[in-house]
Structure 1
């Protein structure tokens, strides 16, 4: 234990002097995620809310054929713009989000009591046009329902005849559960922070020392190599855990700058959220430290190890990609899968649903078992004499 503690203190002290490691583990890694997250969310939320609050400018072709319709749309917040010659090209080239086209026979069909056609021209593949399209469609549907009711009244019929079934929405979501759905990408930032927090340290303590030819003198000491490994892993874990702690605090602070309440959502990144995140993420700290050290052990140079670990960095993203592409119902077995269990658990916390003790225990025990296996495999690799040879 004394050997392990000596190696641990030595590695921590030396890497605190390394600006690259400190910047990556304690500044860049834990802070860049919250900053980017806040900037993106603020931009998206502010833009969408501003678009919803302001009148929408829409080119209207054939406005003269349906003046009453155009007046009704104006009252709902639509600002008709002059018609354009080629509306299809305009929406494809993003010169207009949506174009309304009224045919010449609109008035004739209207006077006959027939269905009058109105065209909405848009490009659904343009991501920034969805809200504008929905607003214009709702305006037209509102006008259609109102005029349909007026036609029934003119014929002495009740408008309720056109709506034999009334739908009463009972949304079971809460302000925090809606926020959890919107911020479901956040667990990936925590995993990425742990990875980045220990990556450069893991590279330097294995591939870096191998390249500097300082690993062989260290192994020449009459102490078991697994004790040396534990000292190095402890140093990596300390940096990773510190990085995660800074990241959690940064998200708690940055959460106050996200105008989620304007969307009817609530964010709670308080102490309860923080300690539960740290608890279920702790096995990943050990697991990723072992995997990073294991992968770096196969590299003969610092640059080569960076290449290998850059590929390994894709692994933590898999659960987030899986859950975003294939939304699935949460099952108890998911908490027993490292990375997936953390993703599911933190998402549940974001939704305001407390984690049960059994879920936390399953997440931690399974993660620690896999971390132990990875550590044993790394210790076995450390026994090889080739590890100390740089060429």
Structure 2
């Protein structure tokens, strides 16, 4: 004989999957969000490789006074276009077209000052609103390198070694591997994929409790020979199942999208295997059970359907706060983070993606604590369901 809670669960799932709103929510969060993240990463890759593919377009005014400088720019993959004298207004009009990274204007006295070993004046005009910041910084780097090479040559011409200008020589060594560093960045981004778990089963949790209460169908269920705990458990597990299904599909879609992108072009990498992804999904099942229990309890504690929607939606947004505040505070990973729902799953995934060895405490806090909180929420929901004043809305 099929358990009663399983009968209720199947009934709630079938009704939820027939609801176009629920299906639309699942489709939007499982497909659109990974696609959006993939599109943003693809755009970052295109911007990061645009300099190497197309070069840097730079207009130079008065370049005849510094042929060596122009040669240095062209050698560094800068497309130099020499121009006649331009006024400030003409330069501004050219930059507003956003076709060049900037305008390098050499003052008329540039050659004279350069010959007299005086600082030769030149101006770099740019539009900071244009999406060419990296290219502009590269041009500035080339100009600094050229200035340093000229200074070194002048010192050597006067019998002074250029080494005295650099009393220290700093060498940096990053012990993290490229794969580990890339996985750390990609795992922080993937942590945002855990947020929709709060929305997958929200519609079902509210409709199966506050909705049925307003439609008076909850009285019919209560009239059946079924214990209250079995009834509440079925509704809880139905909402949790939708959250688990949505999260699993979403992470699989995200894995398929991110594994196809050339993330190495922007210093990232996607080295996660399907078994590791399965571990992440498995660690989120207690979170799905906790979210479903809290949503059912909040909906049953509300007097109306609209009140249930408002309260459950606010509660669903609360776990997002640690995901935003903690990176801003630049806190290191601590054990208490594994006790915060959603944040614990993100923190665990970051640790797994970077190859860190986790003890039993993080696993216990991530899995056991949500289950205990879910039990408390379901006990409260069962208590509310036993109240005739609640069921009859009196």
* TM-score calculated relative to the size of structure 1: 0.87
Counterparts of 2:162 and 2:350 in 1: how far apart (Å)?
Answer: 45
Map Cα deviations across residues 302-329 of structure 1 (whole Å, 9 max, x no partner).
5654444443342232222123433221
Alignment match, 1:295: 298
Q: Using a 3 Å threshold, how does the CA distance of structure 1 residues 155 and 175 change in structure 2: closer, same or farther?
A: same
Q: Which moved more, 1:96-105 or 1:70-79?
A: 96-105
2:242 maps to 239
Task: Name the CA distance, whole Å, in 1 between partners of 2:296 and 2:340.
Answer: 21
Deviations 1:333-386 (A, max 9, x none): 221222222222122233343443332222222332333333333333334434
The two structures, once aligned, show a CA RMSD in angstroms of 2.9
**Does the residue aligned with 2:317 lie in a helix, a strand or coil?**
coil
Tell me which of 169, 172, 188 is aligned to 2:172: 169
Q: 1:36 to 1:171 in 2, by over 3 A?
A: same
Q: Distance in 1 between matches of 2:170 and 2:99?
A: 38
Gapped regions of structure 1 (runs ≥ 5): none
Question: 1:53-101: CA deviations, max 9, x gaps?
Answer: 3211123344344343233212212223445633568668856544434
Cα-to-partner distance string for 1:227-255 (whole Å, 9 max, x where unaligned)? 21111111111121111221222122112
CA distance in 1: counterparts of 2:375 and 2:94, whole angstroms: 60
Range with greater deviation from structure 2 (347-356 or 134-143): 347-356
For the residues of structure 2 that align with 1:382 and 1:105, how far apart are their CA atoms?
88
1:131-156 CA-partner distances (Å, limit 9, x unpaired): 11221122112212222222222223
2:88 equivalent among 85, 88, 108: 85
Contact persistence 1:176–1:350 (CA under 8 A): no
Q: Distance in 2 between matches of 1:224 and 1:295?
A: 21
Partner of 2:195: 191
How does 1:115-134 map onto structure 2 within 5 Å? 115-122=119-126, 126=129, 128-134=131-137
Residue 70 (str. 1) matches residue 70 (str. 2) = yes
Identify the residue that residue 351 of structure 1 maps to in structure 2: 354
Note if contact 1:179-1:350 (Cα within 8 Å) is conserved in structure 2: no
What is the rounded CA distance, in whole Å, between the counterparts of 1:316 and 1:254 in structure 2?
A: 26
Residue from 378, 382, 391 that aligns with 1:379: 382
CA change 1:57–1:313 in 2 (3 A) is: farther
The residue that corresponds to 1:35 in the other structure is 35
Aligned equivalents of 2:293 and 2:36: distance in 1? 29
**292-301 vs 319-328, greater mean Cα deviation:** 292-301
Is the 8 Å Cα contact of residues 72 and 143 (structure 1) preserved in structure 2? yes
1:11–1:140 CA distance, 2 compared to 1 (3 A) = same
CA distance in 2, matches of 1:36, 1:322: 23
User: Is 1:157 the counterpart of 2:160 in the alignment?
Assistant: yes
Cα offsets for 1:197-247 (capped at 9, x unmatched): 212211221232123221122123354423211111111111211112212
Q: Is the 8 A contact 2:5 2:230 kept in 1?
A: yes
**CA 1:2/1:354 → structure 2, altered by over 3 Å: closer, same or farther?**
same
- DSSP-derived class of the 1:114 partner: coil
Mark the CA change 1:62 to 1:371 in structure 2 (over 3 Å): closer, same or farther. Answer: farther
Give the corresponding residue for 2:269.
266
2:104 pairs with 1:103? no
State whether residues 175 and 265 of structure 1, in contact with CA within 8 Å, keep that contact through their aligned partners in structure 2.
Answer: yes
Distance 1:386 1:92 in 2: 68
Matching residue of 2:22: 21
Describe the SS at the equivalent of 1:255: helix
Q: Are residues 10 and 54 of structure 1, via their aligned partners in 2, closer, same or farther at CA, if it must alter by over 3 Å?
A: same
When normalised by structure 2's length, the TM-score is 0.87
Bigger mean CA offset, 287-296 vs 218-227: 218-227
On the 8 A contact 2:98/2:130 being kept in 1, the answer is no
Q: What residue in structure 2 maps to residue 327 of structure 1?
A: 330
How far, CA to CA, are the matches of 1:354 and 1:71 in structure 2?
Answer: 52
